[in-house]
Amino acid sequence: MSTLAEITQTDLKSISCDASVKEAATRMRDEKISSLLVEKNHDLVGIITDTDVVRRAVAEGKDLTRMSVQTIMTSPIATIESMRTIQDAHDMMGDLGVRHLGVTDKGKLSGVVSARDLLVYFKRVSEPKISQD
């Protein structure tokens, strides 16, 4: 069975906890990603996702230029070991109600896996292939 190490995004993108929510949203849009790890004094302290921006800032009518990432980030980051199966990550996301998991290698964060990464994987391995008529 395939492990998370095979599909994990290892190019970690981060933002300062003091950055504005607008800055985070702009970076996610420009880099075509759905999350950023949040750093404080060179330590990872959380994760901000596109869902956090929508639910905790936009829907509340907050000023995105004045609100800091730290106020809406999710902390701590839910993590899973890289040698666990992709199905384990799927189950964990469902159980926790999250769309992103930090992936660790021997306890150290080495990447992030998203629900989209899982969808791409399951689409690739599913049988039979869906055809258009």
Q: So what's the pLDDT on residue 101?
A: 97
Region 103-119: what's the mean pLDDT?
94
The answer, yes or no, to whether residue 128 has pLDDT greater than 80, is: no
Express as a percent the part of the chain with pLDDT over 70. 95
Residue 89, both tokens: 């990550």
pLDDT tens string 66-109 = 999 999 999 999 999 999 999 999 999 999 999 999 999 998 99
Domain limits of the chain?
A: 4-125
The answer, yes or no, to whether residue 50 has pLDDT greater than 70, is: yes
Q: What is the CATH number of domain 4-125?
A: 3.10.580.10
Q: List CB contacts of 116: < 8 A, sequence separation 6 or more.
A: 34
With a CB cutoff of 8 Å and minimum separation 6, the contacts of 78 are 92, 96, 98, 100, 101, 102
68 vs 124, higher pLDDT = 68
